[in-house]
Amino acid sequence: MEKVKNQREAISKLDHNFEWIACEICGSEEHHLVATRTDRFLGGNTLFCMHECENCATVYQFPRPKQAKMGDYYPPEYQQYTKDLSEEKWYKRLSRIYGLRKRTRIITKYLSGGTVLDVGCATGDFLSVMKDVPGWNGIGIEPSHTALKYAKEKARLSVVEGGLNGAPFAKHSFEAITMWDVLEHVYDPRQVLIEVARLLKPNGIFVVNHPNLDSIDRRLFGNLWLGYELPRHLYLFPGELLKKLMAELGFEEVERNCLYGSHAATFSSVMFYIEERLQSPKICGLFRKVLFSFVSRIFFLPYFKLIDYLNLGSNITAVFIKKTS
């Protein structure tokens, strides 16, 4: 606790853009430190902290940047604002298309058609593939103006700027709502989930991919686990807690598995480890080239197939159906 106190004082001296909050899931103010590190993407010396709520086991950032400040941590070159598929190397393009089609199939498995809302659609990869699925059309919502502009102008998609709360959608507007690596980024996630329940039609599905707190990577890499992604990740959820929260809103969990992204997530954590110890851009660049190569993907395929089968990958996807009552 002394370390946390010192960190709080240090941040207070730096600026007044941070806030100290109770857990927004259960309201408890009892928590303990589980991870602390600098921003591995933008750099700098500021330490950001993840704490685990002692009541509900949610892992959340404490203290955290205020919403007005958070935009500084999402520059236009942020890695989630990906390049167009046509700009990728052939093997990366095939890999991305394969992963995106897996996302579409998890929706068509339960519904034959309708409108899907992709929350935090970034540059629109998923919607670009989904619009080619017979019977489906899509709308995106994205807070980043840079990513939204790309989705509208380059991908020709229908995208609304902003966050889900306060978006101009009527009750029961959608057959499906998706959040691909988004829920961990939002402020007040309970209110966001309430809005999901309002917007979905009865028998509609909600698909959410989020960092897996039970993953092998979290145990192996500790502070350097990609899933913490400080300071952009605000909340990480135990799978059973998310299931309980959705049940309170009238949803039934029908599926939970590691759908995609294990290779990239694991080796991103490996790169954090290498960069921290070697601090040589040239050598780190060589490691990155090898680890994210096509040969590496093939060589480690059996390992990632196994951990995904055991639901121990770094990301996990949950599917919920909204009950009719």
pLDDT tens per residue across span 271-287: 999 999 998 899 999 99
Q: Is the pLDDT of residue 136 over 90?
A: yes
Which among 178, 259, 246, 169 has a CA at the least distance from the CA of 212? 259
Establish if 246 belongs to a structural domain: yes
pLDDT tens per residue across span 194-203: 999 999 999 9
DSSP string, 173-236: -EEEEEEES-GGG-SSHHHHHHHHHHHEEEEEEEEEEEE-TT-HHHHHHGGG-GGG-TTT--EE
pLDDT tens per residue across span 46-75: 999 999 999 999 999 999 999 989 988 988
User: From residue 319, how far is each of 209, 252, 322 by CA, in Å?
Assistant: 9, 8, 10
| CA separation for the pair 216, 270 (Å, rounded) | 13
Is there a single domain that holds both residue 57 and residue 32? yes
**Which helix (H) or strand (E) segment is 18 a member of?**
strand 18-19
Position 13 scores a pLDDT of: 47
Q: Is the pLDDT of residue 39 over 80?
A: yes
Residue 9: band (very low, low, confident or very high) from pLDDT cuts 50, 70, 90: low
- Contact present, 316 and 292 (Cβ < 8 Å): no
- Contact present, 58 and 236 (Cβ < 8 Å): yes
Establish if 221 belongs to a structural domain: no
Is there a single domain that holds both residue 57 and residue 104? no
Q: What is the mean pLDDT of residues 257-265?
A: 92
Q: CATH no. for residue 196?
A: 3.40.50.150
Number of domains composing the chain: 2
Is there a single domain that holds both residue 156 and residue 12? no
Is there a single domain that holds both residue 40 and residue 170? no
Is there a single domain that holds both residue 23 and residue 126? no
Name the more confident of 295 and 93. 295
Domain range for residue 31? 2-72
Establish if 115 belongs to a structural domain: yes
Range with the poorest average pLDDT among 21-35, 82-96, 199-213, 243-257? 82-96
Establish if 54 belongs to a structural domain: yes
Establish if 241 belongs to a structural domain: yes
Range with the poorest average pLDDT among 127-131, 142-146, 176-180, 214-218? 142-146
Q: What is the mean pLDDT of residues 79-106?
A: 71
Position 141 scores a pLDDT of: 94
Position 8 scores a pLDDT of: 52
| CA separation for the pair 74, 122 (Å, rounded) | 11
| CA separation for the pair 87, 249 (Å, rounded) | 41
Name the more confident of 4 and 173. 173
pLDDT, the chain, mean:
89
Is there a single domain that holds both residue 14 and residue 67? yes
**Residue that is last in its domain, among 72, 96, 116:** 72
Establish if 155 belongs to a structural domain: yes
Is there a single domain that holds both residue 59 and residue 141? no
Tokens of 238: 């135990």
- Contact present, 249 and 194 (Cβ < 8 Å): yes
pLDDT tens per residue across span 137-171: 999 999 888 888 888 887 788 899 888 887 889 99
| Residue 159 neighbours by CB under 8 Å, 6+ apart | 121, 124, 127, 139, 140, 141, 142, 148, 151, 152
Q: Is the pLDDT of residue 224 over 60?
A: yes
Is there a single domain that holds both residue 62 and residue 90? no
Q: Is the pLDDT of residue 5 over 70?
A: no
| Residue 148 neighbours by CB under 8 Å, 6+ apart | 140, 142, 159, 161
Is there a single domain that holds both residue 200 and residue 51? no
Q: Is the pLDDT of residue 312 over 60?
A: yes
The pTM assigned to this predicted structure is 0.90
Q: Is the pLDDT of residue 246 over 60?
A: yes
Burial label for 97, CB within 10 Å (0-12, 13-18, 19+), is middle
Measure the CA dihedral 228/72/163/191, to 10°. Answer: 50
Q: Is the pLDDT of residue 86 over 70?
A: no
Position 83 scores a pLDDT of: 56
Establish if 142 belongs to a structural domain: yes
Name the more confident of 321 and 45. 321
Which one-letter amino acid corresponds to residue 264? A
Establish if 96 belongs to a structural domain: yes
Is there a single domain that holds both residue 188 and residue 111? yes
Q: Is the pLDDT of residue 174 over 70?
A: yes
Residue 79: band (very low, low, confident or very high) from pLDDT cuts 50, 70, 90: low
